[in-house]
């Protein structure tokens, strides 16, 4: 499966209560169950006016279908091409 980052513009989302975020995640999980094993939610980051979600999916169309069914925006869907972290700086040959 490919990894995707989804940018969702949602003004005021950072002010939502824990219960409201719980309800949104429940709706998302129900939709994921309906779509089957070819799409998985990894995690999300909530900022003041956006949510950045990380998903694993067989294709971008599944990510778009999830957004459509949940009513959540998917303003930008980007395929992750590589991952980096601080440990790479201490191992210069790790990418060779």
Q: Where are the domains of the chain?
A: 2-82
Q: Which CATH class is domain 2-82?
A: alpha beta
Is the Cβ–Cβ distance between 32 and 57 less than 8 Å?
no
Mean residue pLDDT of the chain comes to 93
| Banded pLDDT at 94 (limits 50, 70, 90) | low
Would you state the pLDDT for residue 88? 80
User: Do the Cβ atoms of 68 and 32 come closer than 8 Å?
Assistant: no
């Amino acid at each position: 499966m490919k990894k995707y980052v989804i940018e969702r513009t949602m003004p005021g989302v950072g002010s939502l209560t824990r219960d409201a975020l719980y309800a949104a995640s429940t709706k998302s999980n129900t939709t994921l169950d309906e779509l089957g094993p070819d799409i998985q939610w990894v995690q999300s980051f909530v900022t003041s006016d956006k949510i950045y979600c990380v998903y694993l999916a067989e294709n971008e169309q599944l990510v778009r279908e999830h957004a459509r069914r949940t009513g959540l925006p998917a303003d930008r869907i980007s395929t992750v091409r590589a991952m980096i972290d601080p440990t790479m700086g201490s191992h210069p040959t790790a990418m060779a």
